[in-house]
Each structure stands twice: as structure tokens, then as C-alpha cells.
Amino acid sequence: MASPTSGNGKQPAPKQPTTFYFAYGSNLHLKQMKRRCPHSRYIGRARLVNYRWQINERGYANVVKTDGYWVDGLVYEIDAADEAKLDINEGVSKNAYAKKTMRAQLFRAPGNLYRRPTSWIVDRGGPAKILRQAKEGTPKQPEQPQHWVQEVLVYISLNFTTDSPPKEEYINRINFGLADARALGMEDDYISNCIRPFVPAPARPQRTLGAANAEKGKQPARGLKRNASPRTGEKSPARPGRAPKRPDNQTPQQTTTSRPRSQTVPRRPGATSQQNPPQQNPPPLPPRPVPPLPPRPIPRYRDAPIIVVEEYHFSCRSI
């Protein structure tokens, strides 16, 4: 059987093998993933069961085997060139991380983001902006059912597994990655319960790439000075065709000159100044009338009948 050929008579180039890469640390940030793996494509969210998220003693993210826990992340499709760059960034040759395939529970991305190049998503404002525009244009689509993926590449540190604080420069990178992961569907409960004990939240919420660029374009320019012409003693001319407005009642400007005390004009005797008339004392007020005294009460006597009882004593003597 002849092999298929293209229209120009040449055989199509064989498809390069790709790998599903599970990101759970700073590679959650799509802008960083675009720089490290320019050929990567976004597949969706995934979950590692019976693993726990941590910051190890090196100050970077890691997953450790722990029953009853899980680790959420994003899945990218990468080629061999991107995988080689990841090996360098993750320090595989220095035994900082080891490559391991794990079984992950995959949640496929929506149709407008599934298998989209990471550079395409970043150049159009980030995942939050793309999903927001999709919701405004079309009704919400149900999420694709979950399924199992056997070959998911995970970079795991086997030599450094002690819980430790993160590096200062790593905090911002993790927070930017969490902002993109939250826009793509990562649950807030997982972030607050599994990641925030290690990585503090930023002072203000991290903005997505599209919101940051939009606000940056609205900010006014600072430090600009207007070029003003040097001032002269001449009066500024009025605009051509317009005469300066004058008030209706114009009064001549009164100028006052100060005279020395020796040149003051003496006043004539008996003349009074109209400006400062002599002050006169007000007339006295009339005396207030004294109210009359109330009349004295007149004693009154009531007539009462008097009953006089006379007693007579009779004695009978015998003769």
C-alpha cells in the first residue's frame, strides 16, 4: 500500500509524540509556561489523589505521598523540546526533582480553551478574559465528564520532603499561578486549606493578565510638564475678533497718597466732621413702676349660738 502524500507530492511529517504534563507550582502561571514551553497546549485541570501539596526545605513546591489528601493542578500537552526545557528548569540533573508518571483525574477544559496553545491564551489577555467573553457571547456549557489518564508527567522531589517556608521570590510566582488556576476552575477551598498554610496571600488580590493590561493602559502619564512661554511685562492680547469685556459701571481708580503728619490740614474750631460725628449719651431710662402691694386679708368672725344652762337645786325639808 502506498503511503499517503500531500498535494505537492511530499509525505506529511510524522506527528511528534507528546506528553501530558501536570503542573502544581509556579507553572500554573500561563505566562511563565509560555516562556518555558512555547509549544505547550492547555488540556484542563487534574487531581492527584493520595498526595499532599507542600513547600520543601529548598523553598519550592512539592508533592508527597499522603493518604486522604489530593493535589490539584493544570495539565499541558508538551512535546520533546518542551520537556527538555522543563528538565533544565526543574533541576533534574541536580537531583532537585525526579520525573515520575502518575495516575491523575482529568477535567477537560471548555471547548474554547481545550488544546489551545498557551501562547494563544496569553496573547489574548489570559484565561479569565477569554472565559468572560465566552460567557457573554454564548450560554454556559456543561463541564466535560472526568476520566482517568495513565501517563501524566509529574516532577516530584524525593530527597527534600520537609515542610518549610517558601523563598521570597517564589511567593509572587505562586500567587500569579493561583490567579490563573482560579480562573480556570481551581476551588478556593483547596487554595485556602492546602496552599495558604505555606504561601501567604498577596496584599491585594492578584489580577489576571487581561485586567492588569487594561488598568495599565488607563493610568495617566506621570512626570510630564507643560511647556509654558516666558512671561513678560506686556499685557496679554485678546483673542482676534473678541474684545475684552468691561463692567457696566466703571469707577475711576482712587489713589490714596500718604501725607506727613506735619502737612495735615488743621480743622476750624467749631467744625464737626461728617465722617466721625460726636457720640451722644443716650437719655436715661424712666423709672420702672412699683407694683402695688396686695391687700391685707380682713379677719372675719362667724356668729355661733350660745346655749346657757342654769341649774336649780331644790331641797324639801320636813316641817
Q: What CATH number has the domain bearing residue 50? A: 3.10.490.10
Is 42 known as a binding-site position? no
Q: Establish whether 90 is a catalytic residue.
A: yes
pLDDT over 90 at 10, yes or no: no
Which whole number is the average pLDDT over 81-88? 97
Is 107 known as a binding-site position? no
Total of domains in the chain: 1
pTM of the predicted protein model: 0.61
pLDDT over 80 at 120, yes or no: yes
Q: Residue 200 belongs to what H/E stretch?
A: none
pLDDT for 143 equals 56
Does a structural domain hold residue 146?
A: yes
Is 6 known as a binding-site position? no
Percent of the chain surpassing pLDDT 90: 51
Helices 127-137, 209-218: inter-axial angle, 10-degree rounding: 90
Q: Domain span at residue 46? A: 19-210
Say how many CA atoms lie within 13 Å of 111 toward its Cβ.
7
Cell of 166: 517558601
Which whole number is the average pLDDT over 302-307? 69
Which whole number is the average pLDDT over 111-128? 95
Give the confidence band of 1 by pLDDT, cuts at 50, 70, 90: very low
Q: Which residue among the candidates 57, 77, 90, 143 is catalytic per the annotation? A: 90
Does a structural domain hold residue 301?
A: no
Does a structural domain hold residue 233?
A: no
pLDDT for 319 equals 43
Does a structural domain hold residue 128?
A: yes
pLDDT over 50 at 87, yes or no: yes
Does a structural domain hold residue 305?
A: no
pLDDT over 90 at 174, yes or no: yes
CB 76 within 8 A of CB 21: yes
Write b or e for each residue in 262-301: b if 16 or more Cβ atoms lie within 10 A of its Cβ, otherwise e: eeeeeeeeeeeeeeeeeeeeeeeeeeeeeeeeeeeeeeee
Q: What is d(CA 23, CA 45) in angstroms, rounded to the nearest whole number?
A: 9
